[in-house]
Amino acid sequence: MSAITFEPWPKIPRLNRGILVTEKIDGTNAAVVIFRTGDLADEHGVTTFTAADNANILAVVPDGPDESFVVLAQSRTRFITPEADNYGFAAYVKANAEALVSTLGPGRHFGEWWGAGIQRRYGLSGKRFSLFNVDRWADVDLSAVPGLGTVPVLYRGPWNPREIDLAVLVLELVGSSAAPGFDRPEGVVVWHYASRTSYKVTVENDGAPKGEAAHAADEEKAA
């Protein structure tokens, strides 16, 4: 076997394709993870969980006589539980496990956990979970799960930097669309369909590196 492998140049997606601009909410990254036990079976049809798996499973929801769903929660970096939580998200998932399974179904459902006690707080007395994949959930009734929704759509259409700038300007002048009346929204996320990549633009200190932007925000709060 040769030690030298061929590596092709990747295909380049076209820039002038559709984009989706949504509000970037300043909370904490989270995901509801739902697996059907049969989908985790080995070649013999046996599903076996390790001790670590069992420690992370928040709920088992029956799906007929011989099948079940297992429900987990995760932060950006780890699985979480009510005993080792991230702003109460695992407790929320555990409390609403059956409704989440019936509403979302199997998958890793990413979103922002935000509101009271988290980052900007947005003047809310409770917490919310806003799913990122707005196209998937646009026509789905999410009301069975308290606080569940999607991030607000600010623009959908052809690639146009002016539309992105306009979305940021409207947030700066009008305030948050996710929490009307809150006057310090964070910014936007731009999803580029052709490249399947997300980009962010912040209202404040967008041109500064992340560390410098955070330092500037801290100084502003202290002033």
Summarised one tens digit per residue, pLDDT across range 41-71 is 777 677 788 898 899 999 999 987 788 999 9
Query: Does a structural domain hold residue 10?
Result: no
Bridge partners for 20 per DSSP: 156, 191
- Over residues 34-38, the mean pLDDT reads 90
Query: Does a structural domain hold residue 59?
Result: yes
Query: Does a structural domain hold residue 112?
Result: yes
The pLDDT of residue 213 is 53
- Over residues 85-93, the mean pLDDT reads 98
The pLDDT of residue 221 is 41
Given pLDDT bands bounded at 50, 70 and 90, which one contains residue 214? Answer: low
Quote the number of domains for the chain: 1
The pLDDT of residue 41 is 77
Query: Does a structural domain hold residue 1?
Result: no
Specify the higher pLDDT residue, 203 or 37: 203
124-168 pLDDT, tens digit per residue, is 999 999 999 999 999 999 999 999 999 999 999 999 999 999 999
The pLDDT of residue 66 is 80
Query: Does a structural domain hold residue 11?
Result: no
Query: Does a structural domain hold residue 6?
Result: no
Q: Is the pLDDT of residue 218 over 70?
A: no
Share of the chain above pLDDT 90, in %: 79
User: SS3 for 57?
Assistant: coil
Q: Is the pLDDT of residue 37 over 80?
A: yes
Query: Does a structural domain hold residue 121?
Result: yes
Q: Is the pLDDT of residue 107 over 80?
A: yes
Share of the chain above pLDDT 70, in %: 92
Given pLDDT bands bounded at 50, 70 and 90, which one contains residue 219? Answer: very low
The pLDDT of residue 222 is 35
Given pLDDT bands bounded at 50, 70 and 90, which one contains residue 223? Answer: very low
* Burial of 66 (C-beta count, 10 Å sphere; 0-12/13-18/19+): exposed
Query: Does a structural domain hold residue 12?
Result: no
CATH number at residue 167: 3.30.470
**Burial 166-185, CB ≥16 within 10 A → b, else e:** ebbeebeeebbbbbeeeebb
Mean pLDDT, the chain, rounded, equals: 91
If residue 127 lies in a helix (H) or strand (E), which one and from where to where? strand 127-131
Q: Tell me which residue range forms the domain holding 85.
A: 18-222
If residue 102 lies in a helix (H) or strand (E), which one and from where to where? helix 97-104
The pLDDT of residue 2 is 67
Rounded to whole angstroms, the Cα distance separating 69 from 85 reads 21
